[in-house]
Structure 1
């Protein structure tokens, strides 16, 4: 079972990473409540997408054992109309964020609060699309700071994806509502961020790292007030 790591973010939240090497059939055997999950599997998913989908859910169940000694029997990960994962039918106030890319799946599970996580393969796509998701000052800062441009732009895209998931709201414009502050790029660190919703600005902190060669990871957990 390639559960790569579990990191406790707070007394009520954990971050997990899964290094995917199993077939869908092997992952099915690791998944509880198989009868409940069978109709939820995306009908058009190929073997790679099936394995990513299953690994994310196996990971969430593993994280639930870190949050509570006896997970609820009705803990089944669903997706809402936007594709965002959620956990219905539980009285434990669990919130979840899930991401997968290539051979990795990442998840944050928390009792209450807001969570967001994203993992990305480093590639040139984010740099090519920079004008569509970066504000002018963010783009200028990226051009000045990026020694490894593909890594840096992939990190910026991932950070905005995490902030988008934290907001849990449709119709957000990445370029004007998900704003990243200045930071010195390192192997791991924090990025100050601002979320603009209905004219109200809120401040957040996006943590980042490179969990494996060729990948960037970003996440945020904010406990309930």
Structure 2
């Protein structure tokens, strides 16, 4: 049986961060998913083999996190905004993400806002930067470098990290109608950034501002991950 659970780490305050290195096919993953019959109608209609494997790996990983937390098994659903949640009274808060060979999940006590995102480093984020970064953020990028970035892909990694950070903020907010350039704000310090590290951020929604700390790291070469509790 394939069991590529990469790691489960307990974060300060008790939340659990899980990483799954995806090597299986959907046929390998379905038997690992408890209550698989409940998930069959939830599988996205357009999920091909690789995407179905990612979808399944994320849900198997959440089951592993529930077991590690000593919480009862629960089925993962999505609300009207697409935000995942676990069925059951006082069920833990959860956020999941997947990209390429990696799935990631964050589990926290009920009522806690969480967000997580993993991204394969590629040029797409850099190409669409003006769609999700505001003018202040774009200007700040000129003075930023990432420690130990792979030669030839430093810019792609930085833009992928910033896209991931805004995806994490979006999941943390859990609302429709959010404009990435206006409502999800990154306070980008100048100079070299350590990896792993912490990035200050703000949610500015309906005239209210909340401040957050986004943690970032490299789960593997060619990938970036961000999360916030």
Structure 1 and Structure 2 fold alike (TM over 0.5): yes
Once the 2 structures are TM-superposed, how far is the Cα of residue 66 of structure 1 from its aligned partner? 1.6
Once the 2 structures are TM-superposed, how far is the Cα of residue 143 of structure 1 from its aligned partner? 2.4
Structure 1 residue 97 corresponds to structure 2 residue 95? yes
Count residues in correspondence.
217
Deviations 1:27-68 (A, max 9, x none): 001100011111111122110111000000000000001222
Partner of 1:66: 68
Q: Secondary structure at the match of 1:114?
A: coil
Choose the corresponding residue for 1:56, options 55, 58, 76.
58
Once the 2 structures are TM-superposed, how far is the Cα of residue 11 of structure 1 from its aligned partner? 4.6
* Structure 2 gaps, min length 5: 147-153
Rounded Cα–Cα distance in structure 2 between residues aligned with 1:83 and 1:136 = 29
Partner of 1:26: 28
Q: Given that residues 12 and 67 in structure 1 are in contact (C-alpha distance below 8 angstroms), is that contact kept between their aligned partners in structure 2? A: no
Structure 1 residue 174 corresponds to structure 2 residue 174? no
Rounded Cα–Cα distance in structure 1 between residues aligned with 2:203 and 2:82 = 21
Once the 2 structures are TM-superposed, how far is the Cα of residue 82 of structure 1 from its aligned partner? 2.9
Q: Given that residues 120 and 216 in structure 1 are in contact (C-alpha distance below 8 angstroms), is that contact kept between their aligned partners in structure 2? A: yes
Counterparts of 1:58-207 in structure 2 under 5 Å?
58-68=60-70, 70-72=71-73, 75-88=74-87, 90-112=88-110, 113-146=112-145, 148-183=154-189, 184-207=192-215
Which stretch of structure 1 is more off in the superposition, 24-33 or 5-14? 5-14
Rounded Cα–Cα distance in structure 1 between residues aligned with 2:98 and 2:121 = 13
Once the 2 structures are TM-superposed, how far is the Cα of residue 164 of structure 1 from its aligned partner? 0.7
Instruction: Provide the TM-score with structure 1 as the length reference.
Output: 0.92
Once the 2 structures are TM-superposed, how far is the Cα of residue 128 of structure 1 from its aligned partner? 1.0
Q: CA RMSD in A?
A: 1.3
Q: Given that residues 137 and 186 in structure 2 are in contact (C-alpha distance below 8 angstroms), is that contact kept between their aligned partners in structure 1? A: yes
Q: Given that residues 152 and 185 in structure 1 are in contact (C-alpha distance below 8 angstroms), is that contact kept between their aligned partners in structure 2? A: no
Choose the corresponding residue for 2:45, options 43, 60, 66.
43
Once the 2 structures are TM-superposed, how far is the Cα of residue 10 of structure 1 from its aligned partner? 3.6
* Structure 1 gaps, min length 5: none
Rounded Cα–Cα distance in structure 2 between residues aligned with 1:192 and 1:43 = 37
Once the 2 structures are TM-superposed, how far is the Cα of residue 81 of structure 1 from its aligned partner? 2.7
